[in-house]
């Protein structure tokens, strides 16, 4: 099998053809059409074996995560996903692996109504780069840089589950209850991009980011981009029952929730005037979301409170992946 027949067999499908894709896989470039009045959102993320996923990960989990991290970036911009480019570096053309990987890509492109429009397949150590493209209405861009003092800080879902799941897989954390264990490990393998939440926030939130590097690190990105400060009330952090029961010590649970990465929840700020709208919109879509703090003046810091007292996270519990 050569590169071209591999692409044809596993990735060039006639299903799920979007009307805005004029030329998809199979030419030198894809040709697509942006709807009138919409801007283009583009994001790229690379996943490497042993860095972004464990060596023993199933191909379906790798495909899921590669899609999810990119769609999550679009979600954080309030974008509607449209097209995907996939660059795949694999050590060999293993048909079972490729079938499982490409089936998951296909399943997710259908679920999210996106189309795979191009890519590249090369022989090398396992690495997946996806470039995801989507639309945002030109009058409602959601960025990291417009948080204002007084705005409320919210987060969707629960925090810390994915990194606790990773620690279970690495043998660093034990989960006695198999249901909890399954829930946490699943959060690591199959994160859910908050597409609908992002689109809901477009005209309501003042800033937004997805929690990929850990709450504190990602909060810091908003703080720096917006030139503000933030107070976070750690007692209000949404901790799942699975994490809470598995990690009985509060400090340890807070460690996961504050600095564990890969949750792909949305962290966003909301002006007082939109707070009720956000809460009722999220409730009507059944998206859990919690107010965890408030934006302050321009001190450039993320200040932590526990039961209204200043709090510092023990250094041993700090995570947040650093590549270099």
Q: 42 or 290, CB closer to a second copy?
A: 42
Q: Are 78 and 208 in contact (CB under 8 A)?
A: yes
In whole angstroms, give the CA distance from residue 56 to residue 43: 27
The minimum distance between CB 149 and a second copy, in angstroms, equals 21
Q: 24 or 255, CB closer to a second copy?
A: 24
In whole angstroms, give the CA distance from residue 67 to residue 119: 14
120 is in an annotated binding site: yes
The minimum distance between CB 233 and a second copy, in angstroms, equals 25
Q: Which two tokens stand for residue 82?
A: 């449209």
Q: Is 119 helix (H, G, I), strand (E, B) or coil?
A: strand
Q: Tell me whether residue 286 is exposed, middle or buried, using C-beta atoms within 10 angstroms of its C-beta: 0 to 12, 13 to 18, 19 or more.
A: exposed
In whole angstroms, give the CA distance from residue 2 to residue 255: 47
94 is in an annotated binding site: no
The minimum distance between CB 73 and a second copy, in angstroms, equals 4
Q: Are 21 and 14 in contact (CB under 8 A)?
A: no
Which among 133, 137, 134 has a CA at the least distance from the CA of 36?
Answer: 137
Looking only at the bridges linking them, the beta strands covering 80-90 and 115-123 are: parallel
251 is in an annotated binding site: no
Helix H or strand E encompassing 80: strand 80-90
27 is in an annotated binding site: no
293 is in an annotated binding site: no
Q: Tell me whether residue 231 is exposed, middle or buried, using C-beta atoms within 10 angstroms of its C-beta: 0 to 12, 13 to 18, 19 or more.
A: middle
Q: 123 or 241, CB closer to a second copy?
A: 123
189 is in an annotated binding site: no
The minimum distance between CB 145 and a second copy, in angstroms, equals 7
Q: 173 or 216, CB closer to a second copy?
A: 216
249 is in an annotated binding site: no
Q: Is 295 helix (H, G, I), strand (E, B) or coil?
A: strand
Contacting residues toward a second copy, per CB under 8 A: 1-4, 6, 22-23, 26-34, 39-46, 48, 51-52, 73-74, 76-77, 79, 83, 85-87, 89, 92-93, 117-125, 127, 129, 131-134, 136, 138, 141, 143-145, 208-210, 221, 225, 322-324
The minimum distance between CB 269 and a second copy, in angstroms, equals 14
Q: 100 or 225, CB closer to a second copy?
A: 225
In whole angstroms, give the CA distance from residue 118 to residue 95: 20
50 is in an annotated binding site: no
Q: 21 or 232, CB closer to a second copy?
A: 21
**Binding site per annotation, positions for Mg(2+):** 28, 43-45, 73, 120, 210, 213
**Binding site residue list for ATP:** 119-120, 144, 212
Residues making up the binding site: 28, 43-45, 52, 73, 119-120, 144, 210, 212-213, 262, 321
């Amino acid at each position: 099998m050569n590169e071209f027949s591999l692409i044809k067999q596993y990735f060039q499908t006639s299903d799920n053809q979007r009307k805005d894709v004029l030329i998809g896989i199979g030419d030198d470039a894809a040709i697509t059409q942006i709807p009138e009045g919409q801007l283009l959102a583009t994001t790229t993320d690379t996943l490497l074996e042993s860095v972004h996923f464990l060596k023993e990960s199933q191909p379906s989990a790798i495909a899921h995560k590669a899609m999810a991290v990119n769609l999550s970036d679009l979600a954080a911009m309030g974008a509607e996903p449209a097209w995907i480019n996939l660059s795949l570096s694999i050590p060999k053309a293993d048909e079972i692996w490729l079938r499982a990987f490409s089936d998951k890509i296909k399943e997710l492109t259908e679920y999210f109504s996106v189309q795979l429009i191009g890519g590249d397949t090369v022989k090398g150590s396992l690495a997946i780069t996806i470039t995801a493209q989507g639309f945002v209405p030109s009058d409602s861009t959601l960025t990291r840089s417009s948080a204002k003092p007084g705005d409320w800080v919210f987060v969707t879902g629960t925090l810390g589950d994915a990194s606790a799941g990773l620690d279970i897989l690495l043998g660093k954390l034990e989960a006695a209850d198999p249901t909890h264990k399954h829930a946490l490990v699943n959060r690591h393998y199959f994160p859910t991009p908050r597409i609908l939440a992002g689109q809901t926030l477009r005209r309501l939130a003042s800033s937004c980011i997805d929690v990929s590097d850990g709450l504190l690190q990602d909060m810091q990105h908003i703080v720096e981009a917006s030139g503000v400060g933030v107070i976070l009330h750690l007692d209000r952090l949404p901790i799942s029952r699975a994490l809470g029961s598995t990690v009985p010590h509060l400090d340890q649970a807070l460690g996961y929730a504050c600095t564990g990465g890969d949750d792909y929840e949305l962290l966003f700020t909301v002006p007082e005037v939109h707070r009720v709208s956000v809460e009722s919109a999220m409730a009507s879509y059944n998206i859990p979301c919690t107010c965890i703090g408030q934006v302050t003046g321009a001190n450039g810091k993320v200040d932590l409170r526990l039961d209204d007292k200043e709090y510092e996270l023990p250094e041993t519990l700090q995570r947040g992946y650093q590549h270099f």
